[in-house]
């Protein structure tokens, strides 16, 4: 039986707790450095780094590397493509919720 | 349908809510958890009134009820959604309360050295725990349901040294009053959410 709810069309790059968390934080809080993202999302360096790299490859975020004193700092900023992808993902989630809400109930 | 199912939609919404710092509303498990603590408190108080001496301490076995419920909830949550960050953080916050045992032991040892009666040490410790919890009521996200716990702990702590009842009975009554009042507040919040068309 066909599902009344369309789950297709969702961006798999945006989906997932770490990548979605990164986009949410950058969308709401503006540019953030690697340490701030790590603290807020509670993920190990390696995992965060690979997800950030994926978002960078997709053109969703841009990194700025600099030295503060003798310590390196990587600051991430959301690019327009990332903003659009995040906003679209929100709309998609909302449309799924709306579809489930309006779908005929089985009881 | 792709592998992207409703459970994942919920996980995504949880992720966004956690990252955005949006507070989760009260849930049914908050209601049941508080009600179980209230019941355990009643059993503790009832048992201490029936038993004497060393046997009174066995009343605390009733506390295993809410503890078992919490463990069951944790296991079910892990099996169900793979663990949303928000609920995981809640469990971590609950577990971090155990860290209070460290300063408490240090305080108890210091008090023993200074000759402070153990009853006063117990009372002041409970009072300070109530005060610490008050932070959760005052600072955002303001959790009103914690307020009865703060009041019960602080009031109970002040009663312990001068009460004719045993301290275990007072602790049982404290748990019962705090749990019951907190469960009532959660129930009212859930009712309000249901009326507004939301439910967790």
Q: How would DSSP label each residue in B10-63?
A: HHHHHHHHHHHTPPP---HHHHHHHHHHHHHHHHHHHHHHH--GGGGGGGGGGG
Tell me the H-state helices in chain B. 6-20, 28-50, 64-81, 85-96, 101-114, 118-138, 147-159, 167-195
Interface test with A, best of B3, B11, B16 (most A CBs within 10 A): B16
* pLDDT tens digit sequence for B76-105: 766 544 445 555 666 666 677 677 778 888
- At residue A63, what are phi and psi to the nearest 5 degrees? -105, 145
Token reading at B48: 């201490």
Interchain proximity A7–B89, CB inside 8 Å: no
Q: Angle between the A34-41 and A17-29 helix axes, to the nearest 10 degrees? A: 120
Residue B72 neighbours by CB under 8 Å, 6+ apart: none
The answer to whether A10 and A104 are in contact (CB under 8 A) is: no
- Chain B contact probe: residue of A24, A26, A30, A91 with most B CBs at under 10 A: A24
SS3 of residue B84 by DSSP: coil
Contact A31, A75 (CB under 8 A): yes
Q: Which residues contact B149 (CB under 8 A, 6 or more apart)?
A: B130, B133, B178, B182
Evaluate if residue B3 carries a pLDDT over 50: no
Model ipTM?
A: 0.71
pLDDT in tens, A8-58: 566 778 877 889 899 999 988 889 999 988 888 888 888 899 999 999 999
Is A51 in CB contact (< 8 Å) with chain B? no
Interaxial angle between packed helices B64-81 and B6-20, expressed in degrees from 0 to 180 and rounded to the nearest 10: 110
Closest CA in chain A for residue B10: A93
Structure confidence by residue, pLDDT tens digits, B111-170: 989 999 989 999 999 999 899 888 888 877 678 888 999 999 999 999 999 889 888 899
Report the DSSP pairing between strands A61-68 and A32-33: unpaired
Rounded distance between C-alpha atoms, residue B3 and residue B75, angstroms? 24
Q: Do B89 and A42 touch (CB under 8 A)?
A: yes
Q: Which of B8, B10, B15, B86 to mutate to test the interface with A (most CBs of A within 10 A)?
A: B15
Closest Cα in chain A, distance from residue B79 (Å): 17
Nearest-neighbour CA in chain A from B163: distance (Å): 46
pLDDT in tens, A43-100: 888 889 999 999 999 999 999 998 888 888 999 999 999 999 999 888 888 888 787 7
């Amino acid at each position: 039986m066909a599902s009344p709810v369309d789950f297709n069309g969702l961006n798999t790059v945006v989906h997932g707790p770490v990548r979605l968390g990164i986009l949410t934080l950058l969308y709401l809080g503006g540019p953030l450095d690697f340490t701030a993202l790590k603290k807020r999302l509670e993920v190990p360096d390696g995992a965060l780094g690979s997800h950030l790299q994926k978002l960078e490859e997709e053109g969703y975020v841009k990194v700025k590397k600099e030295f503060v004193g003798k310590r390196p700092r990587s600051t991430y900023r959301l690019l327009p493509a990332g903003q659009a992808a995040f906003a679209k993902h929100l709309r998609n989630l909302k449309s799924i919720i709306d579809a489930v809400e309006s779908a005929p109930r089985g009881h | 349908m792709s592998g992207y199912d409703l459970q994942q939609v919920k996980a995504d919404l949880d992720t966004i809510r956690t990252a955005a710092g949006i507070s989760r509303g009260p849930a049914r498990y908050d209601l049941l958890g508080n009600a179980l603590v209230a019941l355990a408190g009643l059993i503790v108080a009832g048992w201490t009134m029936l038993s004497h001496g060393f046997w009174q301490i066995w009343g605390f076995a009733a506390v295993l009820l809410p503890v078992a419920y919490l463990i069951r909830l944790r296991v079910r949550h892990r099996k169900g959604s793979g663990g949303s960050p928000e609920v995981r953080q809640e469990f971590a916050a609950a577990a971090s309360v155990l860290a209070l045992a460290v300063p408490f032991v240090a305080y108890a040892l210091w008090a023993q050295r200074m000759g402070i009666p153990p009853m006063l040490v117990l009372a002041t410790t409970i009072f300070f725990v109530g005060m610490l919890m008050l932070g959760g009521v005052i600072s955002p996200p303001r959790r009103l349901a914690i307020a009865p716990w703060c009041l019960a702990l602080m009031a109970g702590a002040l009663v312990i040294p001068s009460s004719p009842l045993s301290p275990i009975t007072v602790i049982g009554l404290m748990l019962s009053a705090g749990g019951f009042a907190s469960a009532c507040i959660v129930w009212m919040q859930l009712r309000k959410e249901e009326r507004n068309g939301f439910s967790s």
